[in-house]
Amino acid sequence: MSPKHRGQGWQRADSVSYNSPMHPVDSTTTAEHRVLQLEEALNEAAQINAELQSRDALKTQFLANISHDLRTPLTAIITHAEILRDGILGPLSEKQRDSVASIIGGGRQLLEAVGEILTYARGAANQLTVSPSEFHITAVVAQVAALNEPLVVKKGLSISVDVTPGVPPLVADREQVTHVVSNLLGNAIAFTPSGGRVWVAVTTRGDRGTTQVQVEVGDTGIGIAPEHHDLVFREFAQVDPSPSRRHHGTGLGLTIARRLVELNGGRIWLESQLGEGSRFYFTLPVGDPR
């Protein structure tokens, strides 16, 4: 609605009140003056809004550009380091190999963060598209759990995957769903101290006449206070920056996860208490086999 239309709305409301015997005739001038003031304020607000939107678009473009520019040197760093690690330029001592392995590890971690920023920027600019295909969520969960197994062992945690038999296939963007499961499990591992437990459970649920697949990713970790539950899905927000930094988060992971789940027609939420672990859930509608 344009400011002009909104202005007309205000005028109609005022014309009712100054015809009333409760209001003296000279209030007409005041009312007209107020209408003008409001119209001006609305115009100004519309201009500020347009300017903010344009700045937001610039910020998004900047993030996309910077992500691309970071990937190129990272590609060179990682490739050179792998050439050294694999002894292509001659054998390395064990210490040299360890050192080079750290360069590769750090490089891959940076690459992941850059990828996350790029996904966020594309999401913010509504440039994320869904490429649906039919697949079983159990295959995705098994794949992500297997990839995380070494990290789980390294941190001294245990992991379990529990799938209710007969979960139907989904029609969704497999890569995006994999990203969500991977993000949630990565967080569960990162925020659970040694000796703890992480799990993934897949079930089917009926929701308002439709069948949904529900994925739960839980942990016995540090937990999140209920007043911070909304905050964790908000971009750049960190409940407590210190542990998050310890775990190298960009603060965008859950914002992206929510966007990807919603793009695929689902819903994401959490249940958690401080000190009592967290359980993140997301649902996705089941594909029609016809």
List phi, psi (to 5°) of 268.
-135, 140
Q: Which is nearer to another protein, 71 or 136 (CB)?
A: 71
- Tokens 């205000």, located at residue: 10
CB of 213 to another protein, least distance (A): 22
Give CA–CA dist 286/290, Å, rounded.
Answer: 12
By beta-carbon proximity to another protein, the closer residue of 124 and 159 is 124
Q: Of 228, 235, 261, which Cα lies nearest the Cα of 250?
A: 235
38 or 74: CB nearest another protein:
74
Residue 133, token pair as written in the block? 């295909």
Query: What's 227's DSSP letter?
Result: G
Which strands, in side-by-side order, build the sheet including 210-219?
158-163, 197-207, 210-219, 278-285, 267-272
Cβ proximity to another protein, 177 vs 224, nearer residue: 177
Contact pick of 35, 118, 121, 268 for another protein (by CB under 8 A)? 118
Q: Of 179 and 258, which CB lies nearer to another protein in the complex structure?
A: 179
Tell me how crowded residue 285 is: count the other CB atoms within 10 A of its CB: 17
Nearest-5° angle of CA 240, CA 243, CA 248?
Answer: 115
CB of 110 vs another protein, minimal distance in Å: 11
- Angstrom distance (rounded) from CA 147 to CA 154: 13
In angstroms, what is the minimal distance from the CB of 80 to another protein? 5
Measured from the CB of residue 248, what is the shortest distance to another protein in angstroms?
19
Asked if residues 185 and 155 have their Cβ atoms less than 8 Å apart, the reply is no
Site for another protein in 42-81 (CB under 8 A): 68, 71-76, 78-80
Residue choice 21, 22, 89, 236 for contact with another protein (CB under 8 A): 89
Q: How far is the CB of 173 from another protein (least distance, A)?
A: 9
Supply the minimum distance, in Å, between the C-beta of residue 113 and another protein. 15
Nearer to another protein, 31 or 128 (CB): 128
| Site for another protein contains 147 (CB under 8 A) | no
Residue 111 binding another protein, by CB under 8 A:
yes
CB of 107 to another protein, least distance (A): 8
Distance CA 92, CA 137 (A): 42
Q: Are strands 158-163 and 197-207 parallel, antiparallel or unpaired?
A: parallel
Selected binder of another protein within 88, 91, 94, 208 (CB under 8 A) = 88
The Cβ of residue 195 has, within 10 Å, a number of other Cβ atoms equal to 10
- Positions touching another protein (CB under 8 A) are 68, 71-76, 78-80, 82-83, 86, 88-89, 111, 115, 118, 129, 131, 175
